[in-house]
Amino acid sequence: MSLPKNFLWGASTSAYQVEGAYNEDGKGLSVQDVKDPFPGTPNFNVCSDHYHHYKEDVALFAEMGLKAYRFSIAWTRILPTGSGEVNPKGVEFYSNLIDECLKYGIEPIVTMYHFDLPNELDKVGGWTNPKTMDAFVEFATILFKEYGTRVKYWLTINEQNMMILYGPIIGTTKPGQEHLLYQSNHYMLLAQAKVFKLCHDMIPDAKIGPAPNISVNYPHTSKPEDNLAVLYINAVRNWLYLDIAVWGKYNPIALDYMHKKGFKLDVSDEEMEILKAGKPDFIAFNYYSTATFEGPSADVKPNPEADQQIGLSDEAFYAGVKNEFLPFTDFGWQIDPLGFRTTMMEMYARYHLPLLITENGLGAYDRVEEDGSINDDYRIDYLKQHITELKHTVEAGVDVIGYCPWSAIDLISTHQGFEKRYGFIYVNRDNDDLKDLSRMKKKSFFWYKELIEENAESL
């Protein structure tokens, strides 16, 4: 079984986690720049300093053989206050980055918004305010005009579902706004639908898709209550987002959840028409792990061990539990390559759209040996297992157009600092000391290069 010759072998980053230069060249502040970092983790001011090292970094990506680089554009570099005045230096930076990729034949895959809402928009309510929707459309119009002839793959919003379910951890929602959560979600979905349409109108030969984090979950046992819990979590975590992105319809199970939880949702017929009119060309998604759930009962408490990025608990509906059949990463995330296959097959059977994997990877403590080598065999092993499942998925008839693991280069984790590394390229800094920020190729760099060269035929 072979993958298509034009398969987009890539790798991913996001602006606020990799770029640094948080206040340089006219950039405005985002919610990530002003939030209090988690204890023991650094702020996002310097990150991997990709802003100043982008030429060196893209040259390394080219050496690794990447066919695609998925990065995000910091909204506040283009529009420092979120709307209104454009910052020419910000426009220039991404223009240069795109050209640098194209110089090496690397396809730029651009995420428009990756967790870094402009702080000025946040001050007036963020996504609870429908004006943010207009600002996003304004931002998208600038991006399509500036880069539309060069960028053919666009992603609207990274992990909208995680921003809704994990807002306080990611730094994207404020305490006290829970009752407005699903109304904000609605505005984000509307903004996305408008931008799908705008993209097709402005750059007809480009493709655009959503980029949620999707994983199909397991019932803990065959108890009917556990199965019901999984029905709810799959709807609330996955299908709510994709049903609207693809079909323009609210998922009824998710609606029932919102109703029972007392979440306010004000939706007009005209808005439903907008949701229906915006269509994606593919589904981009991030996958790290599945999670396992049991039904709610008086003695089921949220399980902190399962309460990682993927494991969720909601006392009235589902409780995340540990899956005893799966191993854990150093940071407590369960590893489930077969769940990757199940997730893709289920998504494709539901939506019949091409799939693009925009994140998948292993966060680990890496060690530089005395001879300068970084032997991240555990990462190679993780990626190998997932790519093997990807091949089985394609063999089963699923249209997968590319694979962009997280991350191209080391960067700062959403809430677990710099020592949780994902990259193929090591960045010489740690949580407290910026050191020299020099780049070093890990063992996985050489492994991925070879894998791309042989189009994963050996797996």
- Looking at the Cβ atoms of 51 and 250, the one nearer to ligand BGP is 51
Phi, psi of 305, rounded to the nearest 5 degrees = -65, -35
Residue 86: which of 145, 148, 3 has the closest Cα? 145
- How many C-beta atoms surround the C-beta of residue 205 within 10 A? 8
Task: Quote the longest CA-to-CA distance of the chain.
Answer: 65
* Rounded Cα gap, residues 159 and 299, in angstroms: 31
Q: Which of 159, 294, 389, 419 is catalytic?
A: 159
Does 111 bind ligand BGP (CB under 6 A)? Our answer is no
Does 19 bind ligand BGP (CB under 6 A)? Our answer is no
* Rounded Cα gap, residues 265 and 250, in angstroms: 11
Whether the CA torsion 121, 127, 130, 132 is positive or negative: it is: positive
Angular region, 224: left φ>0, alpha ψ -120 to 50, beta rest: alpha
Does 363 bind ligand BGP (CB under 6 A)? Our answer is yes
Taking a C-beta distance cutoff of 8 angstroms, is the pair 79, 142 a contact? Answer: yes
Phi, psi of 109, rounded to the nearest 5 degrees = -115, 115
Residues 147 to 206 in contact with ligand BGP, rule: CB under 6 A: 158-159, 162
Minimum CB separation of residue 286 from ligand BGP in Å reads 6
Which region among 80-88, 173-181, 291-299, 406-414 touches ligand BGP (by CB under 6 A)?
Answer: 406-414
Residue 287: which of 247, 342, 351, 349 has the closest Cα? 342
Residues 47 to 106 in contact with ligand BGP, rule: CB under 6 A: none
Taking a C-beta distance cutoff of 8 angstroms, is the pair 184, 126 a contact? Answer: yes
Minimum CB separation of residue 287 from ligand BGP in Å reads 10
Strands of 132-250, DSSP E: 153-158, 207-211, 218-219
* Rounded Cα gap, residues 438 and 273, in angstroms: 51
- Looking at the Cβ atoms of 400 and 411, the one nearer to ligand BGP is 411
Given 128, 177, 388, 416, the residue binding ligand BGP (CB under 6 A): 416
- Looking at the Cβ atoms of 166 and 187, the one nearer to ligand BGP is 166
Given 317, 406, 424, 426, the residue binding ligand BGP (CB under 6 A): 406
Which residue number has the CB closest to ligand BGP? Answer: 413
Q: What is the DSSP letter of 171?
A: T
For the question of residue 159 being annotated catalytic, the response is yes
Residues 300 to 319 in contact with ligand BGP, rule: CB under 6 A: 309
Minimum CB separation of residue 455 from ligand BGP in Å reads 26
Q: What is the DSSP letter of 176?
A: T
The two three-digit tokens of residue 444, written as one number: 């996985």
- How many C-beta atoms surround the C-beta of residue 45 within 10 A? 12
Taking a C-beta distance cutoff of 8 angstroms, is the pair 277, 197 a contact? Answer: yes
- Looking at the Cβ atoms of 42 and 363, the one nearer to ligand BGP is 363
Given 76, 185, 213, 215, the residue binding ligand BGP (CB under 6 A): 213
- Looking at the Cβ atoms of 17 and 119, the one nearer to ligand BGP is 17
- Looking at the Cβ atoms of 172 and 286, the one nearer to ligand BGP is 286
Given 413, 429, 442, 456, the residue binding ligand BGP (CB under 6 A): 413
Minimum CB separation of residue 22 from ligand BGP in Å reads 16
Minimum CB separation of residue 79 from ligand BGP in Å reads 21
Distance from chain centroid for Cα 82: 21
Q: How many residues belong to the site for ligand BGP (CB under 6 A)?
A: 16
The three-state secondary structure class of 152 is coil
Q: Which of 19, 100, 120, 359 is catalytic?
A: 359
- Looking at the Cβ atoms of 238 and 413, the one nearer to ligand BGP is 413
Minimum CB separation of residue 338 from ligand BGP in Å reads 20
- Looking at the Cβ atoms of 180 and 362, the one nearer to ligand BGP is 362
Minimum CB separation of residue 200 from ligand BGP in Å reads 25
Binding site for ligand BGP (CB under 6 A): 14, 17, 158-159, 162, 213, 286, 309, 359, 363, 406, 413-416, 420
Q: Which residues are catalytic?
A: 159, 359
